[in-house]
């Protein structure tokens, strides 16, 4: 599918907001994106999994039944996965400020292994862009 | 690990009556979607009352924070009753994950807390 909005090619996957759907999305994404080494694969798709899990939790809290969306942006030498949800959003700075050791645990892992991720959040949902690694082991 | 050969998550329980130890050998992608499978195996370990529980992650190809949380719950349950918990996490991505979460010390061979 062409994504004419940003001049890139790419495609989109929509999954029900259920944890059990994440491995299927991950499998499709791995087929579609370039092969990378095992360590980088595990860390990058682990980060995607953290973000997707948070998206599903956000849908649960908002009682939103819409699908979670994975948008793959693809251009030569520049790919990324964007995860979008329809939750009520959050303040990324709250995650930074969290001191209870659990809030934002997954997102902090994602940021540690994928430091260039971009979070956009509002009261109508959140999108997290995870640039595809250009070099081994992130 | 090839992107075309994703292994389904699986837990094998190995017991040694001679040493009264139990090993949980995990394979595949260990994430929030399969934590219940791990928790069920971990609960069954308690009934065996072993002196030591080992969790082997060598064949685990991906993990998330839910998996780390499940491992920490089992570790706490084992240590609370005075038994030994050993975590084998030899892969580079696993060591990186435990490092970024400040949990490197729970991996076998690391300094004990």
- The ipTM estimated for the assembled molecules is 0.85
Mutation for testing the A interface, residue in B63, B93, B103 having most A CBs under 10 Å = B93
Q: Does A95 touch chain B (CB under 8 A)?
A: no
B31/A53 Cβ within 8 A: yes
Task: Find chain A residues with C-beta within 8 A of B2's C-beta.
Answer: 35
Q: Look up tokens 């998550």; give the residue.
A: B9
Span B53-101, pLDDT tens digits: 999 999 999 999 999 999 999 999 999 999 999 999 999 999 999 999 9
Q: How far is CA A123 from CA A25, A65, A73, A82, in A?
A: 25, 16, 24, 18
CA distance A109 to A42: 13
Q: Which two tokens stand for residue A3?
A: 């994504």
Q: What is the pLDDT of residues B6-57, one digit of tens each?
A: 678 999 999 998 889 999 999 999 999 999 999 999 999 988 889 999 999 9
Q: Which two tokens stand for residue B30?
A: 């260990």
- Which residues of chain B lie closer than 8 angstroms to A41, CB-CB? 1, 3, 62
Collapsing DSSP states into helix, strand and coil, what is residue A120? strand
Give the per-residue pLDDT at A101. Answer: 47
Indicate yes or no: CB of B62 within 8 angstroms of CB of A45: yes
Under the phi-then-psi rule, with left for phi > 0, alpha for psi from -120 to 50, and beta for the rest, what region is B109? left
Mean pLDDT per 10-residue run, chain A (138 residues)?
56 95 94 88 94 94 92 86 93 61 75 90 94 73
**Which of B1, B2, B100 faces A113 most closely, judged by CB atoms?**
B100
**How long a stretch of residues is chain A?**
138
What local confidence, expressed as pLDDT, does residue A77 receive? 72
Task: Determine the pLDDT at residue A110.
Answer: 92
Average pLDDT, chain B: 90
What three-state secondary structure class fits A135?
Answer: coil
CB atoms inside a 10 Å sphere around CB B105: 10
Question: What is the distance between the alpha carbons of residues A48 and B25, in angstroms, rounded to a whole number?
Answer: 25
Of A96, A75, A41, A91, nearest to B91 by C-alpha is A41
- The pLDDT, as a whole number, for residue A8 is 61
Q: Residues with Cβ < 8 Å from A123, sequence gap 6 or more?
A: A88, A89
Angle subtended by helix axes A38-62 and A22-32, to nearest 10: 140
User: Residues 6 or more apart from A109 whose CB is under 8 A from it?
Assistant: A46, A47, A50, B64, B65, B97, B100, B101
- C-alpha distances in Å from residue B47, one per residue of A70, B6, B11, B40, B78: 42, 32, 17, 12, 12
Residue A57 corresponds to which tokens in the numbers above? 């939790």
pLDDT value at residue A1: 47
Can you tell me whether residue A93 is helix, strand or coil?
helix
The chain B residue lying nearest A103, using CA atoms, is B65
Q: How far apart are CA B86 and CA A72, in angstroms?
A: 39
Can you list the domains of chain A with their CATH numbers?
Answer: 2-131 (3.30.565.10)
- Residue B90 C-alpha, separation from nearest chain A C-alpha, in angstroms: 12
**Residue of A38, A54, A83, A137 best to disrupt the B interface, most CBs of B under 10 A:** A38
At the top level of CATH, which class does the domain B10-106 belong to?
A: alpha beta
SS3 A128: strand
């Amino acid at each position: 599918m062409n994504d004419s909005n940003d001049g890139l090619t790419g495609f989109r996957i929509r999954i029900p907001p259920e944890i059990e759907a994440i491995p299927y999305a991950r499998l499709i994404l791995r087929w579609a994106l370039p092969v990378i080494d095992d360590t980088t694969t595990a860390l990058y798709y682990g980060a995607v999994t953290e973000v997707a899990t948070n998206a599903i939790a956000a849908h649960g809290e908002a009682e939103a039944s819409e699908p979670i969306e994975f948008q793959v942006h693809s251009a030569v030498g520049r790919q990324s996965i964007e995860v979008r949800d329809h939750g009520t959003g959050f303040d990324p700075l709250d995650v930074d400020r969290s001191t209870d050791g659990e809030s934002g645990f997954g997102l902090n892992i994602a940021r540690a292994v994928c430091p260039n991720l971009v979070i956009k959040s509002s009261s109508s949902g959140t999108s997290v862009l995870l640039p595809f690694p250009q070099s081994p082991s992130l | 690990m090839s992107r075309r050969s994703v292994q389904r998550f699986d837990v094998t329980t190995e017991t040694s009556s001679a040493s009264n130890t139990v090993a949980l050998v995990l394979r595949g992608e260990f994430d929030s979607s399969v934590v219940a499978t791990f928790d069920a195996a971990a609960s069954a370990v308690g009934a065996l009352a072993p002196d030591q529980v080992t969790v082997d992650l060598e064949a685990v190809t991906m993990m998330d924070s839910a998996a780390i949380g499940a491992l920490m719950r089992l570790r706490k349950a084992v240590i609370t009753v005075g038994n030994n918990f050993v975590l084998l996490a030899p892969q580079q991505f696993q060591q990186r994950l435990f490092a970024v979460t400040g949990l490197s010390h729970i991996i076998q061979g690391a300094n004990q807390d």
